[in-house]
Amino acid sequence: MDAANPEAGAPTPGLFARARAFVGRLPRKTLILLGGLLALGLLGLFLIWLLVGRGLPDAASLANYQSPLPTTLRSSDGTPFHSFTRERRIYLPYAEIPPVVVQAVTSAEDKTFFEHSGLDYAGILTAVWTNIQSLGSDKRPVGASTITQQVAKNLLLNNDVTIARKVREALLAKRIEQQFTKEQILELYLNEVFLGRNAYGIEAAAQSWFGKPAAELRAEEAAFLAGLLKAPSNYNPRTNYARALERRNYVLGEMANNGFLTQAQAGALKASPIETTTGGVANRQAAVGGYFIEEVRRQLIEKFGEDAEDGPNSVYAGGLWVRTTIDPVIQAAAEKALRNGLLRYDSGRAWRGPPATIELGDGWEGRLRTAPVGAGVPDWRIAVVLAKDGSGMTLGFSDGTKGRMANGDAMRARNGSPAWQLLKPGDVIPVARIAGNAYGLRQIPEVSGAMVVQEPQTGRVLAMVGGFDVKGSSFNRATQAQRQPGSSFKPFVYAAGLDNGMTPASIVSDAPYCVYQSRSLGTKCFRNFSGGYAGAQTMRWGLEQSRNLMTIRIAYNSGMDNVVKLAKDLGIGSYQPVLAIALGAGETTPMKLVNAYSMLMNNGKAVEPLLFDMVQDRNGKLLFRADPRPCEGCLAARWQGQAMPRPRDTRRQVMDARTAYQVTHMMEGVVQRGTATVLRSLEVPIAGKTGTTTGPKDVWFVGGTPTMVAGLYIGHDKPRNLGGLQGGTFAAPIWRQFYTEAFKDNPQEPMPFIAPAGIRMVRVDRRSGRRVYGAWPSMDPKSAVIWEAFKADSEPRRIYRTADDLKALQPVQPKARVKSDSDFLRQQGGIY
């Protein structure tokens, strides 16, 4: 202890003691004032929490947040070919975000992102001072939001420009910083932000603007995308190149100031132009399968919901992965064949005028893109007439490019006037390139139709075409059009006959047949398409030649109750048991009819049309599998010589397998000798049936091989006469073109239809149906002896006869008088 300074050795009072001493020396009034201010401050904080902070979302809820992701469709071979999206987004984990993107974004939006704790206080003070200076003006208030605040606003709040929202945003930003790392926050941000062209997130934006993944972005490209964060529409180089260039160069300068680039590098990059793609990878969708895709979308929405509020696995937000059944090659072949058939029918007919008209002026490209006109044919384009002059007209396309159409390339006439005289600016028309920048006028057919291709063993739909083009008409005629199938329904009448004691060799009379309906309706008489009669013939011959009168007799003798029951069991439709139904007067859809044929060719096993056979969520978890059968042993660790595991066949037997095969075997004769001989040269086993309805208003062909069934019809949406078309001369050739195109690179093996147990193949005389000995069937389609399919114990009995006896047994053909339709109508009354 220092004697001169007795307090030198005394302990120093603590901070709390000194503060208490200081407060003790204050006047009482000052203490009351300070206490009141403290209470007011605490009350203010409470009121802020009560009015602003109360009810704030919990930052922890972000841990379970999932970005809206599109549903992706894969083809049957696993290749992605389409996506359902309102916000085109491809989620990218932070580890896969390239550093140059992080550098560009933080330089443009939040240079102190990795240092601050959620709020940039210096920026806030600057923004406050700027807003005070702009009071009374129309300027939008300046913000100082950090990336964390933008995450809070984008994901958990709204975009209102209010002080209350900014306070809530700041409070929530602090919570987010406490809950997540900087990398997690930046990952959320860079996968959520909108960057123009309907691209959300940096990966989708990179593909949309530059046609490449984000991992391949160069520094100047990353700077351009970072510049879009402020306002994508304001910095679109296509509409405002100068502003876009200025903004990109500002970001490059900030990257240099922050040490990510040298000044020399930044200067060189600033001198480079902005080069973006016109559409980008992300805009490319399937060029085929429009109707198939739309039907898949409808079924997925029905099963999983449409938007995020419908559940975590919704179509437009759930990020589903869907393995569809579409075969792209078969789909393209079906579309090409059907469209060519429609164009062939429409060729030579008058021009019907432009299918749509739009307003010209600024934004005409966007209006053209949304015009309800689909080109259909791959080398067609939809154009709008921009201007006309003496020699032709200027055309505009949806991508902003232009073309030229000479008057001589628009000569298709309407009421005697060529189209080039009638067209006017604003008209939307389909055109096809002739040469260079010259185009010629085309016309979308008025007649329409549908085609469905199915795998008979599984029900998987390999292709579906619901019209000329889905953009021009979203009405899917494959699944929605209720049409009369005409003679393509007859195989099911014959099946009912076979189920009720008849055989393919049974003799049926092809002669006039009339039915008294009622006192008011009178007598209804039926007739064959040709109007003539052939006398007594085999059941097989009646189906091959599509004889109406024989079909009516088979239906009557079998019982129409049995016919309509079979039609219902096969899913064709629910009908009244009237004889007209036997000739295809009941309505059905192409999809239902093709599915029924699949069951015939699958020996009567039930199948359902499948457009997708597997659905997984965004993480790969299985949500749906079309084949639910257990497969014991399929997941065995290794093979040790055990038998191959096979799932049990649990499908329902809808009809007698033997009957199904007999009908299929008879339908092979339709191709070999009957109404579909145009298909015979394909030289593969094909069974099928043509159809021509009254008028004719629709023409059909449905048929297939052991591994594929396809069916199509052609007709107007409001049924009316098609002229002289027939199923065998118009629909069957379309089917032939489809088959040739679909399998030209992968020819089908000529596999025969497999007969089920209980079928006996017997040699019979083709015309009489009688059993034959000593002669064998030949390769000639019109061989006198053929193999016929009989159920056990129903085949003709063995009878020994000489060659002269066999000759004598040949039926004597009556001299049929072929009457004209007018003669028959006058003599017999109404017809079907």
Catalytic residues: 109, 487
Determine the Cα–Cα distance for residues 282 and 285; give it in Å rounded to an integer: 8
Determine the Cα–Cα distance for residues 321 and 72; give it in Å rounded to an integer: 5
Determine the Cα–Cα distance for residues 762 and 773; give it in Å rounded to an integer: 10
Question: Could you tell me if 65 and 58 are in contact, meaning their C-beta atoms sit under 8 angstroms apart?
Answer: no
For residue 313, the one-letter residue type is: N
Question: Could you tell me if 196 and 233 are in contact, meaning their C-beta atoms sit under 8 angstroms apart?
Answer: yes
Determine the Cα–Cα distance for residues 528 and 671; give it in Å rounded to an integer: 19
3 state SS of 664: helix
Of 429, 404, 299, 466, the closest CA to residue 351 belongs to 429
- Write out the two tokens for 660: 């199904």
Determine the Cα–Cα distance for residues 432 and 438; give it in Å rounded to an integer: 9
Of 68, 50, 66, 62, the closest CA to residue 172 belongs to 62
H or E element at residue 825: helix 821-828
DSSP 589-643: -HHHHHHHHHHHHTTTB----BSEEEEE-TT--EEEES-----TTTT-SS--SPP
- Write out the two tokens for 719: 């049924």
Question: Could you tell me if 519 and 571 are in contact, meaning their C-beta atoms sit under 8 angstroms apart?
Answer: no
Question: Could you tell me if 441 and 393 are in contact, meaning their C-beta atoms sit under 8 angstroms apart?
Answer: no
- Write out the two tokens for 188: 């959320």
- Write out the two tokens for 15: 């901070």
The sign of the dihedral angle between the CA atoms of 698, 676, 601, 789 is: positive
How far apart, in Å, are the Cα atoms of 354 and each of 272, 381, 419, 442, 738?
A: 45, 14, 9, 10, 30
Question: Could you tell me if 713 and 449 are in contact, meaning their C-beta atoms sit under 8 angstroms apart?
Answer: yes
For residue 464, the one-letter residue type is: M
| Buried-exposed string 809-830: b where 16+ CB fall within 10 A, e elsewhere | eebeeeeeeebeeeebeeebee
